[in-house]
Amino acid sequence: MKKISISIYSFLFTSFFVTGVQAQSLPPFKVDNTQYRSVSLGNYLSELNEENANLKIRRLNIASADANAKDAGMPYLSPILTYARGSMYTQAPYAGYTNPASNTLGAMVTIEGWGKRSAREAQAQADAKRKLAEMITEGKAIETEAMFNYIDALRTKLLWQSYQEAIDALNQYRASGSTQAAEFIAAQKVLANDLKYYSYGMANFVGKTGSELIMPVGTLNIEAKNFKVEDLIARAQENRADIASGQAAVESAEANLEVVKASKNIDFLPGVYYTQTPSYASSGINYGTQQAFSFLLNVPLGNGFLMNSDVTTAANSQAELEVSLMATKAKIVTEINQTYLQYQSAKERLEAATKAYNQAKMSKNNIQGILRFRNAEYELFDARTVHAKTLILLERLSGNFEVPNLH
């Protein structure tokens, strides 16, 4: 979240409600040296969720975890097959001794200690669930950062169009308006470069840096909303992605603790052997073919059931994650209260900017009126930007991840 904070808090700590503004008809954005393709915010986020490299890696990890979870419930028999021939002596112990050289076939399997298989299966399933929750959490964080980048790009485009509108209006006055028009053209060059910069940032989120850059669309005219802090906090406790991720991590650690405990249960290794001795003669006596079966049971006794440090470590890991989850839930209250205050300021700023814009719009009949209107429009786009970012942040902090309409 650090990058997100850097990109928005310069706006968030300035003051920022959206009231109705008549639809603006701005000149189209035009540059000669860069190709753009217009992409709505919804389509951009869809492309991001499909193409983002980090999310692709997460999906591969989830696929691996799912495959592991399917196999984890299978019994670990670890069969051992044995073949032995002999005995064979380097020399006969006495004259006339005959060695029949028996053939022995054996098989042994492992019967896991009580609870090992079920604990292993539960851990694999919990791990797959945890990785899915982590992907969702990271995906929402990437979405939020990408949305702010998109909004910054859209603000830059709208300001360029606002300057172009003023330039077109000043052209009526020719010489008397040429100085201001030249200043606006210079400002447009900076804005065009800024838009290109933000567009590269948007392309980076989707892993595409082709010949066409992304052009945001909309006017940032998002309708203001009224909230109750208590409702926001309650919704966040139920829907926040990081809460779900933290809970999944706790469940995974709990399952791991059960695996550690079950690992101390003793395995049994039963086996069966079949021995065949061919016919042979010894001291003038003929012996026929002999067959024999034998059974055995191995019980490996390790040091694990005498040591308890691994259980303590696993239990402490679970406790750490539980404390972290509690801290996340407590942090929600602070985050939402702080962002709610910023949103109230954003609404006030937007109301004031909208009022000033509507007033300035009525007096564009001379150079000074055109300049006042351009300044009012500039402030309106800045106020809309701050309002949009703060509203999105407040909604997402409370667990609402719907894509806003930027109109």
Q: Are 105 and 83 in contact (CB under 8 A)?
A: yes
- Taking Cα atoms as reference points, which of 319, 337, 145, 136 lies closest to residue 239? 136
pLDDT of residue 227: 96
Residue ranges in 171-240 assigned as alpha helix (H):
175-206, 229-239
Q: Are 100 and 277 in contact (CB under 8 A)?
A: yes
Q: Are 402 and 390 in contact (CB under 8 A)?
A: no
pLDDT of residue 8: 40
pLDDT of residue 89: 72
Return the exposure string of 85-107: e unless at least 16 CB atoms fall within 10 Å of the residue's CB, then b.
eeeeeeeeeeeeeeebebebebe
First to last CA, the chain: 27
- Which residues in the chain show pLDDT less than 50? 1-23
Task: Indicate the pTM of the whole model.
Answer: 0.83
pLDDT of residue 24: 59
- Taking Cα atoms as reference points, which of 265, 262, 266 lies closest to residue 297? 266
Q: How many residues does the chain have?
A: 407
Cα 213 versus chain centre, distance: 25
- Cα 315 from Cα 180, distance rounded (Å): 70
pLDDT of residue 395: 97
pLDDT of residue 139: 96
Beta-bridge mates of residue 293: 274
Within 10 Å of residue 16's Cβ, how many Cβ atoms?
27
pLDDT of residue 17: 38
